A and B are shown apart, each in its own frame.
Chain A
Amino acid sequence: MPGVVAIAHDGKTDGAVLLDRALSLSGFREAMAPRIAQALAERGACSAIVVPALDGFAADSPARTNPRLVEQLLDVLLDLGVTDVAVGSTRATAALWLENRDVFVAADLLGYRYETPAGWPYDVIDLSEDAEPGAFPSWGPLADTDLSRAWRDADLRLVFSANRTDDDDGYALTLSTLLSVLPRTDKDYHYRYRLDVGDVVAQLLAAAPVHFALIDAVVSGHGQAGGRRPIPLATDTVIAASDPALADYVGALKMGLDPFVSALAATSLRAVRSTPDLAILGSVDVYPGWVNPAPALVASTAVRRGFVTADRAIRPVLQHVDRELFPFRHPANDWLNRSLADVASAGPTGEEGAALLSLVNLAAGELEKVGEAWGVVAAKDLLRQSDAPLNIDPDAVTGAQYDAIAGELLPQTELLRGVAADSGGVRWRFDDGAVLFDGARRIPLPFEAFTDAVPIHRTIQFMNDYAGGRALATARDDTGRVTRQVERNLYLPQPNYTALGGGVTIDVTKIETMDYGPRRQRMFWKTVRSENGSAIADDGIVTFEALGDDTLVTIWGRQHFALPPLWAAIDSQITADMKAALVTEAYGRFFQRTFANLEAVAEGRDVRIGRPWTEASQAEALPVERVADAVRRFTPEGGFDLSAMVKRVLGKGPGATPEPVKIDSDGFRHFQSSGPPEPGPVGQALTVLLSDLRHAARVDSGGER
């Protein structure tokens, strides 16, 4: 059907009338009728689920869709013949730090009455409760994600968002609200930090398309602070669209924004911008008096999101909340929020707070970059592992492409003939800006045992500095072994020290073939895409070969990585000898650690670097909880009594009032008999320390016998 967006605006009427006009103008009833008729004809029933914004943290918040309008929409649906209507949502990240964010309680507190104006009952349902696998393709960002059965099976899926600004995305409209269909509670953690949220929303839309989208812009939430402190503004508008991306496109225009400012919406917007015969009915003039978040705030918030721990710590602190309805779960968050939420949204429309918050965000982001660079160079297991869903369609890779890889790569191995190997058995040479290299190691394990433990099609995942990715088998042999696959790999910046000056993660997508012989297995790979432009080439061959009772592992490769500007400038200035020394060191290290990893995999170890993301079933503790735990470790009572801690550490000072060792049932205070003052724990520890050091010095001098 052609796309349509209808904008109903009238400052002299109420929301109910505006909604009715928007529905009429957009042809909502005409568009829904055939679907309803078809469902009734096929099953004698028709179900509809409306997903509203439940982002409000106060009863009358403009960040939530007005429940009266949602209930009015349900009546319209029932009038059209829908037999089952429901309001659906899931818990969101705020449920981790606020009470009463359960879907049913939140809906109740935000004004849902379980009965439409016409007196029809409806349900509020939690779409996480019937989530099940199988909704998403195996190669995209939501490959392992469940989705509500009710949402998938609904004959009509509708999103009805509020109309508000947002410091994450500039604006939060129907696509942002659609995210609440996904089942995991910590949506920030699972869908924003780990994944590209734009891809997430696009795939969600593709898997379960939304049939109509509406925006409640009767009273909107504007201002620099976005959803943190939505400032009500009467905008007297309802927008209805045949597609949520179209609704968001026009909704953002009405705010005076470039719709593509939102990373969450951009991917979906690009998919609908060329909708044929698109009709935009009504004015797209900007709302009078509307204030958006400053671009610097949106950009700096994106930077802060890169520092997951800081972002998770800061969000509860910044949110304006009606504590009567939604009390904080942890007193520390409550206290910090009372102290800082107003500061971060200060100013009539939040402009003073936005300036300050932008600086804080940038500082957090810079801190994260420093930490990340340090992690790459010196503490790889402190880094978070990366999720990198496949970014090519496996079905689009032809058999001819797979078949051509070996023929293309094998002749290139000859280019290393005559090159002397270094002491570690590594050879390399430059070729058109790339490095051709190979190296081999004889591993003292029988070929069968080694190849059973180390599946050759996974070899790239065992290489040094592999940081994450995903592989999808596209063909197998008769015994189930993978013979073709597509794979996306992330590697830490190469060489690692480039992370100190702008080096980026190497991100390459490859097509791969495997062949299996009785005494030799080989894997060939060819890079077909580098999403971030970090690699110009990364092709290779790995061979496992029986050699007596051992296994010979050989790796050949052709790599050409893009250097960031700083390192490119340095690279252009260094001598050929120095460059050769650096390349020799880099590949020597690569082979030493890759072969060690292959041995370790044969031993049954997991060699993947970094900390895994915590799965939904065992949610990662919020930073405030971790700090509280750390304090408990130092305070046996479990509290944070500073004076008690000081007393315990320093002991009693001279002349201090003695404390009773016991107060009996009659109120008598019992004291220990006086004696020489005892040193506190610090004094005792110092005494032991000095005694031990004297003893150690005697040992060193040979005086201890």
Chain B
Amino acid sequence: MRALVTGANGLLGANIIRELLRQGLDVTGVVRPDADLAGLAGLPVALVRGDVLDAPSLAAAASGQDLVFHTAVPFSYWGHEPAEMTRTAVEGSRNVLAAAAASNVRRVVMTSSSVTLGASYRPEVRDETARAEDDAEEPAYVLAKISQEREALEAARQLGVEIVFACPTMSVGPFGASLGPSNGVVTSYLADPLKLSWAGGCNIVSVHDVAMGHVLLAAYGEPGQRYVLGSENLRWAEIHGLVAELAGAPPPRGEASAVACYALAVAEEARARITGAAPLATRAQARMVGRFYWYSHDRAAALGYRPRPARQALAEATAWLAAGRHISRETRAGMRLHRDVHVARLALAASERRFSEGWAA
């Protein structure tokens, strides 16, 4: 069986490719011409240079494929123009579906997001029956994903393409070409000299599990349905406490108020504009303080989805991040990694070695 993955060098794309390779599929990845391919190094995967906004490049890549995994929308709260992000999400998805229809692809698994289910200021758990509203004050990423789901469903109906939506929660783990807000949960806490947490919470999941969930949906998902791919619902203080424990950093000193978070985000954005570096937090993220992005993955669980606990997901993410450029040397020098993180790193290295030794074989 053959599968095409768009956004192949992104956090989800790189992990979906690994999962497909483990299951013995022939995999083709679509990457932009200037993509950073470090996260795909050594993998037996065919790469096609293209762009989801460039329909002909997709048509060629989709030819002969059985499945398409469409992940290519940047998850970002900084550095992307809202209009461009929406265009990539909506027009890019239409192009992918059109290419899939032209090539008689059996099914498209489209990566949406749990944020399309909305969030609450109360600690309540949402499922796939919930929907976020097109509130103009929502971050551009959230609005883009809402539009993408709506437009893609309609386009798939018109084109006669089977589509299933994967709605990952906060996915942490290795191999993304850029840091992204999800792994940023780990790095920004470690880089924060004040070691503050804040109100609200989110659902943390391993990107490995999200990748496996995508492949599961390709086999068993019901066309037109949305599936949350998450793990544990935790308060931010709990998440930061886990990060601190795993990295050997001080635990959270307390919760910053929403006003303080917003003020810090303003200051961070100003610093980022001057230095050219990414901010530790943005105003778009600060507006989300106090909300509970808590979700149930029961619908996916009914298909066999079994995610690992959030602590293990964070240990794996910390293992990968601690060894890379997203944690500064100075921050790393202040860390004392938990044994579980070392174990996760060794397991990750062993898993990568198996690709070079021929996993499928």
Interface string of B134-155 (1 = CB under 8 A from A): 0001000000000000000000
Q: A704 to B329, Cβ gap below 8 A? A: no
Q: B336 to A696, Cβ gap below 8 A? A: no
Q: Is the interface of A mostly helix, strand, loop or mixed?
A: helix
Q: Among the listed stretches B108-116, B220-228, B256-264, which one makes contact with chain A, having 4 or more residues with CB under 8 Å of it?
A: B256-264
Q: A445 to B334, Cβ gap below 8 A? A: no
Question: Which of B290, B322, B346 is the one whose CB lies under 8 Å from A699?
Answer: B290
Q: Give CA–CA (A78, B287) in the complex, Å.
A: 82
Q: Is B34 an interface residue (CB 8 A)?
A: no
Q: Is B2 an interface residue (CB 8 A)?
A: no
Q: Among the listed stretches A300-308, A356-364, A477-485, A595-603, which one makes contact with chain B, having 4 or more residues with CB under 8 Å of it?
A: A595-603
Question: Which of A444, A599, A605, A689 is the one whose CB lies under 8 Å from B329?
Answer: A605
Q: Which chain A residues border B330 with CB–CB below 8 Å?
A: 380-381, 609
Known pairs A444-B339, A699-B121, A699-B289; A604 contacts B323 (CB<8 A): yes
Q: Which of B262, B330, B333, B342 has the most chain A CB atoms closer than 10 A to its own CB?
A: B333
Q: A700 to B257, Cβ gap below 8 A? A: yes
Q: Is B47 an interface residue (CB 8 A)?
A: no
Interface string of B334-360 (1 = CB under 8 A from A): 111101001101100000000000000
Known pairs A592-B336, A603-B345, A697-B259; A381 contacts B290 (CB<8 A): no
Q: Is B23 an interface residue (CB 8 A)?
A: no
Known pairs A692-B287, A699-B289, A699-B290; A600 contacts B121 (CB<8 A): no
Nearest CB in chain B to that of A594: its residue: B333
Q: Which chain A residues border B333 with CB–CB below 8 Å?
A: 464, 593, 596-597, 600, 607
Q: Is A644 an interface residue (CB 8 A)?
A: no
Q: Which chain A residues border B297 with CB–CB below 8 Å?
A: none
Q: A704 to B332, Cβ gap below 8 A? A: no
Q: Is A633 an interface residue (CB 8 A)?
A: yes
Q: A599 to B337, Cβ gap below 8 A? A: yes
Q: A696 to B258, Cβ gap below 8 A? A: yes
Q: Is A313 an interface residue (CB 8 A)?
A: no
Q: Give CA–CA (A592, B336) in the complex, Å.
A: 8
Known pairs A445-B342, A696-B261; A592 contacts B334 (CB<8 A): yes
Interface residues on A, range: 20 to 34
Q: Is A330 an interface residue (CB 8 A)?
A: no
Q: Which chain A residues border B79 with CB–CB below 8 Å?
A: none
B217 to chain A, nearest CB (A): 34
Q: Is A458 an interface residue (CB 8 A)?
A: no
Question: Which of B137, B289, B337, B343 is the one whose CB lies under 8 Å from A696?
Answer: B289
Q: Which chain B residues border A605 with CB–CB below 8 Å?
A: 322-324, 329, 332
Q: Which chain A residues border B346 with CB–CB below 8 Å?
A: 445, 449
Q: A444 to B342, Cβ gap below 8 A? A: yes
Known pairs A596-B334, A596-B336, A696-B289; A609 contacts B262 (CB<8 A): no
Q: Is B199 an interface residue (CB 8 A)?
A: yes
Q: Which chain B residues border A445 with CB–CB below 8 Å?
A: 342, 346
Q: B332 to A696, Cβ gap below 8 A? A: no
A475 to chain B, nearest CB (A): 32
Q: B334 to A600, Cβ gap below 8 A? A: no
Nearest CB in chain B to that of A605: its residue: B323
Q: Give CA–CA (A689, B334) in the complex, Å.
A: 35
Interface residues on B, range: 20 to 34
Q: Give CA–CA (A699, B257) in the complex, Å.
A: 8
Q: Which chain A residues border B290 with CB–CB below 8 Å?
A: 699-700, 704
Q: Which chain B residues border A592 with CB–CB below 8 Å?
A: 334, 336
Q: Which chain A residues in 648-689 approach chain B with CB under 8 Å?
A: 689
Q: Is A705 an interface residue (CB 8 A)?
A: yes
B20 to chain A, nearest CB (A): 27
Known pairs A605-B332, A696-B259, A697-B259; A600 contacts B276 (CB<8 A): no
Question: Which of B121, B258, B323, B334 is the one whose CB lies under 8 Å from A705?
Answer: B121
Q: Give CA–CA (A326, B323) in the complex, Å.
A: 49
A530 to chain B, nearest CB (A): 25
Q: Give CA–CA (A464, B262) in the complex, Å.
A: 35
Q: Which chain B residues border A693 with CB–CB below 8 Å?
A: 259, 262
Known pairs A592-B336, A600-B333, A633-B276; A696 contacts B121 (CB<8 A): no
B124 to chain A, nearest CB (A): 11
Q: B322 to A600, Cβ gap below 8 A? A: yes
Q: Give CA–CA (A331, B77) in the complex, Å.
A: 38
Q: Which chain B residues in 245-296 approach chain A with CB under 8 Å?
A: 257-259, 261-262, 266, 273, 276, 283, 286-287, 289-290
Q: Which chain B residues border A443 with CB–CB below 8 Å?
A: 342
Q: B323 to A600, Cβ gap below 8 A? A: yes
Q: Give CA–CA (A704, B292) in the complex, Å.
A: 12
Q: Is A323 an interface residue (CB 8 A)?
A: no
Nearest CB in chain A to that of B198: its residue: A699
Q: Give CA–CA (A592, B98) in the complex, Å.
A: 56
Q: B332 to A596, Cβ gap below 8 A? A: yes
Nearest CB in chain B to that of A603: its residue: B323
User: Could you list some 12 contacts between A and B, CB below 8 A?
Assistant: A381-B328, A381-B330, A443-B342, A593-B334, A596-B335, A596-B336, A605-B322, A605-B323, A607-B329, A692-B286, A696-B289, A699-B258
* Given pairs A596-B332, A697-B258, A705-B122, 11 additional interface contacts (CB within 8 A): A380-B330, A381-B329, A592-B334, A603-B322, A605-B323, A607-B329, A633-B273, A692-B262, A693-B259, A693-B262, A696-B286
